[in-house]
């Protein structure tokens, strides 16, 4: 509750949160909000400039850009979000098992993580896309397969810290069940670490997945997706550069919002970072450390 | 120090083995049967089961899985990755040169990243809270959210089309490096510059700074000490960034038609050229692991705590 | 002769407005040792850093500080820098973090002495070796070429003291110099500080929450609680006849602790 209060006090964090929520809602309710069919081709309207009927203009096939942007929220953000949640869940389960029980289980899980993290994310995605064929689903599978290892590592470290605390030791000593201890004593305290890590990787995941769509490995045409729209716009980049504006700006703003939110979340969970100096430093440092983790 | 290096190398070997095994397994999941693919590539008119059986025999594809893996690994160690399904060349002929093109782009970008991260990080730390610090921080924060391919396209539109200063794509001479390097570096500079800035600021509050001041040292001397300690972070960042960038140049290569291993891999995926994909995955992953190892060792060499540890 | 005088020192945090040190005044005579005691968080370190004007920028201070009748509070940062080291010198609690971890010890010693004296490298080395030997550090020459992490906390603490011997500051501030040490190193450091007292004219401000050491080393004691001075008197008087409740409490807790300690020792002897 205190966290929510802290977050609420942070203006930028609050604005980012509301913005992200809004964007997600727009994506969920795209069919009701979108003014046109995102797939409807109308060759008469090719490259039409913005008008009252088509607020953002029309693309090379005369499709309504605004509607495509709205539908594009689904693969570009919502599905990425789902993939993130899934990999965090897998990572959390593995991290908890490793950090709580230690011993051989821990060793095995960590060695698997080591190997998974020895592949750069793009490389493994390309390998999986090569086997399963291009498609958004396959990319998301690749991401879930890769990212859980990263989360597992971080969550394990965090769990290990708390397992050593006296009240956890006490709970173990009086014979409480493992499930009880994890659910009651460890999950609540590690939750903040999980939330911060997850939120800080959302931005980079959006960028990476839209990048793969841009390469033509993601969602299949004619379905709208922001990276894909940029890829289509690139074909006519020299004659119609304005087509690159809407999807590009949208990605930048959404990723920025996620980055701001993750910064604020960190401060909210750990108020002593409120001092301006620390605050500006911490997040990227953690990111780099995480990348180092990934690299190891 | 010697012990540390040996240990670090010893850890790397099993990881490399696991990585290669996983690569092998992954690609053997591919839906197309290798024998069939090869026959297709050789443009054999009618592919009979018999012919496939013969080819399997010839290529050792009937042997147990693990033996196949060892054979394959031995070949790979001699840079023999087989022949491309699609092009009439050996895989190494395709992958080798493009890997080095990627490496060039990576190294130049890393140098640019480290140079600017340190420069801007130090400026901002010394000017903490002042207007320059705030502006730079905001600009760089925004840049971390910009997709590389979009940035690349904007750079092309502006510098190549509008100003006609630089080539739009390809790899021909020094000039063609500029835009791809900028597109690759900017996002990373945004991340690493903040790290260096906060390393400087953290050092600012260290005990040794207070003790230095209480001994009456000049601000200049103290700044030199802070720099010295922060630089360590910078160098480890430099080493870290190489493998990360190496694994992520696919997009930039695509935008600027850079003849690197990333472009090659996309081409291979679209034409289902599995040996090339396999070689790509293996080479980049191995490079990634090895660069990480080097980065750890360099890092240790810079840290007197580990350097002088003789145990 | 009065060497240091602090009048109405106030320190507060500009972000939160919290007052950390409240209206503190005290005097220090030449060659005397003043101990500041109080539980952790009571503002002892902040007071000392305020005297040296070394608190973080987020802490503001008002009040008058006179070193040999010169008002430090009026000096610019530049003039203040000339005072530090040569006239006012501070030893930190944790020797392990007090030296730049990426340089050998000698770098700091040399830079400091070069700042304050026109000595050549050889001369500096000689003086340092002599000083280090007098605080019982053997192989001084080799020690100077070691990195901080290769030495123990006690050794680093004594190196800081040795530097004080060469600098001969008017006031030496030692901020809990023994807290981070094990008992034996504590004893050695205290020993050296006592020796300094005998050999130098320097006045010492000694911060500690170990009342045993304080009783041994200090001429006067100043008791702080929550940023305020609650009692200030001769060591003798304070220990024999504490006035303030808090002082009584401190002395009693210590007595209880050491009685407890004796009991434990006795028991373990009998077993
Ligand atoms: N830079 C600072 N900013 C804000 N508060 C501080 C700062 N430094 C110390 N304080 C606060 O001042 C109080 C006194 O600290 P300190 O002088 O270090 O205590 P001690 O008596 O243990 O040396 C503490 O409550 C601490 O939280
Ligand atoms: Mg203190």
ipTM of the complex in this document: 0.88
**pLDDT in the model for residue A1:** 59
| pLDDT in the model for residue B309 | 59
Q: How far is the CA of C45 from the centre of ligand 2 (A)?
A: 4
Buried b (16+ CB within 10 A) or exposed e, C193-232: beebbeebebbbbbbbbbbebbbebbbbbbbbbebbbbbb
- C-alpha of residue C56 to centroid of ligand 2, in Å: 14
The answer to the question of residue B295 being in a domain is no
* Number of domains present in the structure of chain B: 1
Which chain C residue lies closest to B302 (C-alpha atoms)? C102
Per-residue pLDDT of chain A (296 residues; tens, 9 = 90+): 566 776 777 788 889 999 999 999 999 999 998 888 888 888 888 888 888 888 888 888 889 999 999 999 999 999 999 999 999 999 999 999 998 888 899 999 988 998 888 888 888 888 888 888 889 999 999 999 889 999 999 899 888 888 888 888 888 888 888 888 888 888 888 888 888 888 889 999 999 999 999 998 888 888 899 999 999 998 888 888 888 999 999 999 999 999 999 888 887 776 655 544 443 333 333 333 333 333 33
Torsion sign across C-alpha atoms C34, C40, C46, C52: positive
Tokens of residue C142, six digits? 């080799």
CA of C227 to the centre of ligand 1 (A): 9
Query: Taking a C-beta distance cutoff of 8 angstroms, is the pair A33, A70 a contact?
Result: yes
Q: How confident is the model at residue C12 (pLDDT cuts 50, 70, 90)?
A: very high
Q: How far apart are CA C57 and CA C59, in angstroms?
A: 5
Q: Which two tokens mark A205? A: 């995941």
- Above 80 in pLDDT, residue C263? no
Q: Tell me, what CATH number does B226's domain have?
A: 1.10.3720.10
Distance CA B18, CA A116 (A): 10
Cβ C162 vs Cβ C128: under 8 Å? yes
pLDDT at C267: 57
pLDDT at A93: 92
> Which ligand is the nearest neighbour of the Cα of C42?
1
Nearest CA in chain A to B22: A115
C111 CB neighbours in chain B (<8 A) are 212, 215, 217, 221
Cβ distance C174 to C89 under 8 Å?
no
For a mutational test of ligand 1's pocket, the pick from C10, C43, C227, i.e. the residue with the most ligand atoms closer than 8 A to its C-beta, is C43
Whether C123 and chain B come into contact, CB under 8 Å, resolves to no
DSSP structural state of residue A233: H
Q: Which tens digits make up the pLDDT trace of B150-200? A: 999 999 999 988 888 888 888 888 888 999 999 999 989 998 888 889 888
Residues 6 or more apart from A165 whose CB is under 8 A from it? none
* pLDDT tens-digit readout, C35-78: 999 888 899 999 999 999 999 888 999 999 999 989 999 999 88
Tell me the C-alpha distance between A87 and A107, whole Å. 20
pLDDT tops 90 at residue B243: no
Q: What is the pLDDT of residue B183?
A: 93
Distance, in Å, from the CA atom of C255 to the CA atom of C212, rounded to the nearest integer, reads 10
Ion ligand 2: residues, CB < 5 A: C 45
CA C4 – CA C171 distance, rounded (Å):
8
pLDDT > 70: percent of chain B: 96
Is residue C254 pLDDT above 90, yes or no?
A: no
For C78-102, b where at least 16 C-beta lie within 10 A, e where not — what string?
eebbebbbbbbbbbbbbbbbbbbbb
Residue B247 included in any domain = yes
User: What pLDDT shows up at residue B79?
Assistant: 87
Query: What residue owns the CA closest to ligand 1's atom 24?
Result: C41
- CB under 8 Å to B45, separation ≥6 — which residues? none
Q: How many CA atoms lie within 13 A of C74 on its CB side?
A: 5
Strand partners, C232: C222
What pLDDT does residue C262 have?
A: 61
Arithmetic mean of pLDDT, B50-72: 81
Write down the pLDDT at residue C265.
56
> If we measure between CA atoms, which residue out of B86, B3, B22, B79 comes closest to residue B300?
B3
Residue whose structure tokens are 């949208």: A250
Burial class (CB in 10 A: 0-12, 13-18, 19+), B15: buried
Residue C11 has pLDDT above 80, yes or no: yes
Looking at the domain assignment, is residue B15 inside a domain?
A: no
H-helix segments, C71-136: 77-83, 95-98, 105-116, 121-134
Instruction: Give the number of other CB atoms < 10 A from CB of residue B24.
Output: 19
* B53 has pLDDT over 70: yes
End-to-end CA distance of chain B: 9
CB contact under 8 A, C111 and B205: no
pLDDT tens sequence across B83-126: 887 888 889 999 999 999 999 999 999 999 989 999 999 899 88
Whichever domain contains C245, its CATH number is: 3.40.50.300
3-state percent breakdown (helix, strand, coil) of chain C, nearest 5: 45, 25, 30
Give me the domain span that covers residue B262.
Answer: 92-272
Q: B270 to chain A nearest CA, in Å? A: 8
d(CA A77, CA A24): 7
Query: Which chain C residues are closer than 8 Å to B1 by Cβ?
Result: none
CB neighbour burial string for A97-118, b if at least 16 within 10 angstroms, e if fewer: bbbbeeeeebeebbebbbbbbb
pLDDT at res. C266 = 59
CA distance linking residue C85 with residue B217, whole number of Å = 8
Chain A 88-127, CB below 8 Å of chain B: which residues?
A: 111, 114-115, 118-124, 126-127
Residue C9 belongs to what domain range? 2-269
Nearest-atom number in ligand 1 for the CA of C55 is 1
Atom of ligand 1 nearest to the CA of C175: 23
CA dihedral C130, C131, C136, C141 (to 10 degrees): -60
Question: What is the predicted pLDDT for the residue at A143?
Answer: 92
Name the more confident of B306 and C34. C34
Q: Using DSSP, state whether C60 is helix, strand or coil.
A: strand
Q: How many residues does chain A have?
A: 296
Q: Where are the domains of chain A?
A: 2-295
pLDDT score, position C126:
93
pLDDT of amino acid A90? 95
- Give chain C's domain count: 1
Indicate the SS3 state at residue A265: helix
User: Which chain A residues touch B247 with a CB distance below 8 Å?
Assistant: 119-123
pLDDT in tens, B4-31: 888 888 888 988 998 899 888 877 777 6
B124 alpha carbon, distance to own chain's centre: 28
How far does A156 lie from chain B, in Å, by closest CA? Answer: 20
User: CB B7: neighbour CB atoms within 10 A?
Assistant: 10
Tokens for B277?
């994909």
Q: Of B216, B219, B229, which has the smallest distance from its Cβ to C85's Cβ?
A: B216
**Residue B136: inside a domain:** yes
Domain membership flag for residue B206: yes
Query: Cβ contact (<8 Å) for B277 and A127?
Result: yes
Tell whether B51 is covered by a domain: no
**Ligand 1 site residues, Cβ closer than 6 angstroms:** C 13, 20, 38, 40-46, 56, 58-59
**Assigned superfamily of A2-295:** MetI-like (1.10.3720.10)
Tokens representing C216 are 């041994």
- Residue C244 to residue A264: CA distance in whole angstroms: 46
Radius of gyration of chain A (CA): 22
HEC letters along chain B: CHHHHHHHHHHHHHHHHHHHHHHHHHHHCCCCCHHHHHHHHCCCCCCCHHHHHHHHHHHCCCCCHHHHHHHHHHHHHCCCCCECCCCCCEHHHHHHHHHHHHHHHHHHHHHHHHHHHHHHHHHHHHCCCCHHHHHHHHHHHHHCCCCHHHHHHHHHHHHHHHCCCCCCCCCCCCHHHHHHHHHHHHHHHHHHHHHHHHHHHHHHCCHHHHHHHHCCCCHHHHHHHHHHHHHHHHHHHHHHHHHHHHCCCHHHHHHHCCCCHHHHHHHHHHCCCHHHHHHHHHHHHHHHHHHHHHHHHHHHHHCHHHHCCCC
The top-scoring range by mean pLDDT among A6-15, C148-157, C255-264 is C148-157
pLDDT at res. B137:
92
pLDDT tens digits, B260-308: 999 999 898 888 888 898 899 899 888 888 888 887 888 777 777 766 6
B308 contacts C147? CB cut-off 8 A:
yes
Contact C89 B207 (CB under 8 A): no
Ligand 1: residue whose CA is nearest its atom 27: C41
Identify which of C82, C103, C149 has the shortest CB distance to residue B305. Answer: C149
Going by the DSSP 8-state scheme, the letter that residue A273 receives in this structure is G
Tell the burial category of A39 from Cβ atoms under 10 Å away from its Cβ (0-12, 13-18, 19+): middle
């Amino acid at each position: 509750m205190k966290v929510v209060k802290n977050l609420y006090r942070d203006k930028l964090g609050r604005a980012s949160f509301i913005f992200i929520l809004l964007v997600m809602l727009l994506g969920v309710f795209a069919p009701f909000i979108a003014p046109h069919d995102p797939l409807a081709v109308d060759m008469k309207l090719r490259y039409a400039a913005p008008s009252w009927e088509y607020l953002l203009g029309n693309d090379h096939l005369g499709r309504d850009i605004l509607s495509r942007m709205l539908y594009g929220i689904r693969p570009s953000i919502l599905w990425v979000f789902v993939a993130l949640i899934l990999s965090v869940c897998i990572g959390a389960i593995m991290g908890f098992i490793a950090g709580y029980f230690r011993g051989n289980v821990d060793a095995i899980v960590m060695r698997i993580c080591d190997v998974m993290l020895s592949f750069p994310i793009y490389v493994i995605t390309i390998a999986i896309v090569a086997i399963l064929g291009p498609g958004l689903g396959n990319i998301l599978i690749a991401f879930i397969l890769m990212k859980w290892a990263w989360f597992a590592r971080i969550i394990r470290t965090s769990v290990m810290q708390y397992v050593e605390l006296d009240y956890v030791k006490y709970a173990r000593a009086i014979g409480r069940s493992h499930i009880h201890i994890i659910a009651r004593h460890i999950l609540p305290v590690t939750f903040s670490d999980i939330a911060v890590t997850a939120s800080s990787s959302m931005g980079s995941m959006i960028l990476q997945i839209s990048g793969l769509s841009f390469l033509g490995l993601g969602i299949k045409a004619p379905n709208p997706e922001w990276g894909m729209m940029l890829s289509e716009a690139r074909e006519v980049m020299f004659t119609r550069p304005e087509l690159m504006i809407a999807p590009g700006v949208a990605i930048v703003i959404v990723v920025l919002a996620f980055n701001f939110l993750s910064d604020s979340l960190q401060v909210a969970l750990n108020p002593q970072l409120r001092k301006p100096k620390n605050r500006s430093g911490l997040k990227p440092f953690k990111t780099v450390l995480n990348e180092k983790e990934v690299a190891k | 120090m010697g012990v540390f290096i040996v240990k670090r190398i010893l850890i790397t070997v099993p990881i490399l083995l696991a990585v290669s095994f996983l690569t092998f397994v992954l690609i053997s999941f591919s839906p197309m049967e290798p024998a069939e693919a090869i026959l297709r590539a050789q443009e054999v008119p009618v592919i009979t089961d018999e012919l496939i059986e013969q080819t399997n025999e010839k290529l050792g594809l009937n042997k147990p899985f693990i033996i196949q893996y060892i054979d394959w690994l031995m070949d790979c160690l001699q840079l023999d990755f087989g022949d491309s399904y699609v092009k009439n060349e050996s895989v190494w002929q395709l992958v080798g040169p493009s890997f080095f093109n990627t490496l060039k782009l990576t190294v130049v970008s890393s140098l640019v990243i480290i140079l600017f991260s340190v420069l801007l990080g130090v400026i901002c730390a010394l000017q903490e809270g002042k207007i320059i610090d705030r502006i730079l921080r905001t600009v760089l924060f925004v840049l971390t959210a910009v997709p590389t391919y979009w940035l690349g396209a904007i750079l092309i539109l502006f510098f190549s089309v509008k100003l006609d200063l630089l080539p739009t794509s390809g790899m021909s001479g020094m000039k063609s490096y500029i835009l791809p390097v900028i597109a690759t570096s900017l996002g990373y500079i945004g991340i690493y510059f903040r790290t260096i800035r906060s390393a400087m600021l953290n050092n600012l509050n260290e005990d040794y700074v207070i003790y230095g001041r209480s001994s009456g040292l000049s601000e200049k001397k103290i700044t030199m000490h802070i720099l010295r300690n922060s630089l360590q972070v910078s160098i480890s960042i430099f080493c870290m960034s190489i493998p990360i960038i190496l694994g992520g140049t696919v997009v930039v290569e695509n935008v600027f038609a850079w003849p690197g291993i990333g472009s090659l891999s996309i081409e291979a995926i679209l034409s289902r050229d599995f040996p090339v994909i396999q070689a790509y995955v293996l080479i980049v992953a191995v490079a990634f692991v090895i660069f990480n190892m080097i980065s750890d060792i360099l890092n240790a060499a810079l840290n007197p705590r580990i350097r002088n540890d003789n145990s | 002769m009065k060497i240091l005088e602090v009048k109405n020192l106030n320190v507060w945090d500009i972000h939160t407005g919290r007052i950390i040190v409240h209206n503190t005044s005290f005097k220090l005579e030449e060659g005397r040792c003043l101990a500041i005691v109080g539980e952790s968080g009571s503002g002892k370190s902040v007071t000392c850093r305020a005297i040296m004007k070394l608190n973080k920028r987020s802490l503001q201070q008002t009040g008058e500080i006179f070193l040999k009748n010169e008002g430090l509070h009026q000096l610019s940062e530049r003039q203040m820098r000339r005072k530090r080291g040569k006239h006012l010198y501070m030893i930190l609690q944790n020797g392990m973090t007090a030296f730049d971890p990426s340089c050998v010890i000698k770098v700091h010693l040399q830079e400091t002495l070069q700042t304050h004296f026109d000595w050549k490298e050889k001369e500096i080395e000689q003086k340092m070796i002599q000083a280090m030997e007098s605080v019982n550090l053997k192989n001084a020459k080799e020690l100077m070429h070691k990195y901080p992490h290769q030495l123990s906390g006690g050794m680093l603490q004594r190196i800081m003291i040795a530097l004080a011997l060469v600098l001969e500051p008017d006031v030496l501030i030692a901020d809990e110099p023994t807290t981070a040490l094990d008992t034996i190193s504590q004893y050695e450091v205290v020993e050296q500080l006592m020796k300094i007292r005998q050999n130098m004219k320097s006045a010492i401000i000694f911060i500690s929450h170990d009342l045993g050491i304080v009783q041994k080393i200090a001429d006067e004691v100043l008791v702080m609680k929550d940023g305020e001075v609650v009692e200030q008197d001769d060591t003798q008087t304070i220990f024999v006849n504490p006035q303030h409740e808090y002082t009584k409490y401190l002395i009693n807790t210590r007595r209880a602790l050491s009685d407890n300690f004796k009991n434990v020792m006795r028991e373990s002897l009998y077993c």
